[in-house]
Amino acid sequence: MEKKEIKKVLKFYKNLNPSTQLNINDREVIEVWCDVFMEYSYEQVRNAIVAFSKKKPFAPSIGEIISNIEVPEYTIEKIPPNTVIIQFEDETYGNFPFRFLNSQDAKEYSKKFQECNYDKESIKILHEEHVRKRNAGVLTYRGEAKARLEQKLQNQNRGKKYDKQSSYGW
């Protein structure tokens, strides 16, 4: 989570718990929250605060917020410039590397990931579609190259009779 999102979470936290003595404009408070929540998304932290507030009538501590964060069973690793690897903890699914030609395609697919709620089967289907789409040009090129090579060999062998004995060099 970025610093501006931390400020947004702190503001949400303060509005949800107005009686808290937390100064959301204090630099040290922002730094502590940045250090603690940097590996989580804004939505995860916000949802954890809401979940806790529904159970208890008082403001949650940082530890109570962390204990209410739902951690997905997958990780998303972004490798610059345009590679995203989604890895599930379930070993039967393994890794699904998505390699994009530009950041616009990566953003488009990240929306698709969110729409399917990172469901394993949906990610698998998206990955198959992605690979098929990305490799379509390569497969066509290989097919065309193979056809050209076969045509060239046919042109070279026209009029020549194949002789098994002549192929051996004594």
Tell the burial category of 118 from Cβ atoms under 10 Å away from its Cβ (0-12, 13-18, 19+): middle
* Residue pLDDT, tens place only, 124-164: 788 788 777 777 665 455 566 677 777 777 877 765 555 55
Q: What are the DSSP calls for 101-121, one per residue?
A: SSHHHHHHHHHHHHHTTT-HH
**pTM exceeding the 0.85 threshold for the entire prediction:** no
The 10s digit of each residue's pLDDT in 39-52 is 888 888 888 889 88
Q: Which of 12, 2, 82 minimizes the C-alpha distance to 41? A: 2
